[in-house]
Structure 1
Amino acid sequence: MDEEQVRGRGGPGRWWRHGPPPWPRRWEGGDGTTPGPGAPRWPGAVRWPWPSTVLITLFVLVGSNFAAHAQEGERASLDVFARVLLVVACGLLLWRQRHPVAVVFGTAAAVALYLGAGYPYGPVFLTVAVACFAAVVAGHRRAAWTALGMLWAVHLLVAHWLYRWLPPAGDDSAPFGQEIVVAGWAVAIVAVAELARIRREQWARERAERAQAARRRADEERLRIARELHDVLAHSLSVINVQAGVGLALLDADPEQARTALTTIKSASKEALGEVRQVLDSLRAPGDAPRAPAPGLDRLPELVEQAARAGLTVDVTGLPPRLPPHTDLAAFRIVQEALTNVVRHSGSRHARVRFDQTAGTLRLRIDDDGPATGADAGGSGNGLAGMRERAAALGGTIEAGPRPDGGFRVLAVLPTRTADEAGEDQ
């Protein structure tokens, strides 16, 4: 509930019923997440890997020629069919990012035919390695393992059983030690692909966390600016409202007093314009140093003087302590909002502000003697909510409500040291 409800009047508090208004996110890009393996993609979102595919094709074709010369007489020589298989295995890699499962099985099948035809061992296995890598990184681990297993099974059949009927003629069974090398080669491919997949997921999580942190900072900054504008405008407009009423009432009966009220209105509006301009400057040039320092408890005498011009007498007990900038601003705004609410909602023309400081804690109490008025001051009902948010942001608390002996009390408990400073003392 807002202070108007706590004092015993007013309609439902919109802030606490519905929460703060949703802020537009037009300037925020994306949701900070990375689509998973099965997530739909926009057409054309994945680029065709032309350069790498062309380089792999050239390497495989040239390397296979060298392998054929080195294994001449041991394996079948490269013919048109062999070169077609090499080009097909390499060409399939163009689709490895769009259809990784089909590509990994297609390259494995092309290489299996290449081995079954007795062509020379060589860089043709690179096509399967690249396709397997792409499938694992895309999240299709089972497909990559299955394709490698099938290719290894074909190699076992060809090398230890079907070699009698397949070219080259007179070929002998391969040693089983060679199978250990092939198995190690397959495991190494999958291991490297798994490492790449894990690292890619880490990068995606880090990007999502950074995007979420950026959105959170933007939301906090918008909320801070909303609080600043509310506190500045609520206080100044309340003073202007009261003084305008006084001026209208005394315009004919006491022109001099009416002139004083108009002077107060001019002063309050000028100060409000200056503070609003300072807040808006932070929006126009985010990250730049403010042109004027943020208000703090050193401006408490000005606040008391403004309250006096609005007809409210303020007694201050205790010396305002030296506080960190954020705590100093929050304490000033809490006193400002509490006095503004006295002017708007209380029939009392007297308020008391008391400072009590203990080790690491500031107790700030604002009392008035009441009673509550029934006049509508035109407030938004966000005063107490803003004070609580300021205190909570610093790790403090706000208690506000009627006093047993009448009137109203706002009690703020704020830490005067940051968490880092408290940790250093331990």
Structure 2
Amino acid sequence: MGVDSSLTWDEETPLASVDHRRVEAWLAALLQSERLSLLIGNGLSSAVGHMTNSPPPSMQGQISDSPTDILDNVLSHAESTAKKLGRDSNLEDEIRSAMVLADGLEVLGKAAEERAVRAAIESAMAALLEGVLKFEKGIWDEHLNATPTAKKVAHALLRFLTPFVSRPVQRDRLHMFTTNYDRLLEYAADLLGLRLIDRFEGQLHPRFTASRINLDLHYSPPGVRGEPRLLDGVVRYSKLHGSIDWQFNGHDIYRAPIPFGGPNNEEHHRRAVIYPNPAKDVETLAYPYAELFRDLAAAVCRPNTTLVTFGYGFGDSHINRVIGDMLRVPSTHLVVISRDPLVALDAFKDRTLYPEGQTTELIGPGVGGLDEFSTFLPSLISDRVLDAQFDYLNRRAKLDEILQQDETVDETRDSKR
């Protein structure tokens, strides 16, 4: 295990042999990269759901509990396409296959079969949204009652996110990406007092826009004119697969006022913007996701960039392609954090140029869990505070040296007398 170029830890490495201080220093150096991005997968939601006994919906469920012969073919097609990516199929694969089948049946003019398939898609989407809201409700109920579990969740999220968001404002903002549909990260941002900058504009009905104007938040210090400074606690935020509170309205996308863990309705099922979705308009389908993946590529495929993935299973070919392109830039670095073994990561390595010197892997329950990984994260990474601390210690050491020399001179004079 060499932290000077790369670090790899897996279940075969004895946990006692892991030098926490060396790993912490290595991660602190990586978090000080000129550009930093964080990619959150379902692992974070699963960890929090385990604390609240309200796990997020499993993506391993089938699109129908009692599939017809047609839906049996959907499941078979989803399994075959997932195997090409080196993983097992999930609900997203099944919905995508069913959507392709429904479009084909429409072309063939088989209206009855098409309606059956689309009904199965709608049912699967509704169950998925209900599961996400149930997961959120479990967190919010604990929060409202101020239970010990709520404090445990808040503490875990704070310990995990604080080292990432505590970057000096002179560097590029942290860009946080997630493939999750839930709003756990928005909840965490409220706990930390973070301000999230995303593609939505407006207050009453925030609207998704294609504009990539580099907006930011500044403030003017008292007595200073014409020199605004960047505001602390600002994070760029992108939900790559959409969100349960995004809704289609014609060709536009708005953020709907759905309470965290609040009730759902049938109208929301049909209009929710989550990937994949049953919308038939090709332009509408491509619009939000193409823009979001463009944001991902623009954020990570740049020099001196560190991308940290937590709980991401490397099962999304679109994201993997961007990560592969990022690693072609010699000064970039990829940090993979996962509690469970990642079979898809091995397949990704086989298909992609994967330079060992540009990667750090912490995989296994001893280091890849939410609480376990947080113990390796640096508690303080601010350059300004660290420099001030070392400057004080150096000055204090010099002062002590001068005082000691003066005492020696006085003692010598006394002895001569």
Normalising by structure 2, what TM-score? 0.20
| Higher RCO (C-alpha 8 Å, min separation 6) | 2
Structure with a larger share of its residues in helix = 1
Q: TM-score, normalised by structure 1?
A: 0.20
Higher fraction of strand: 2
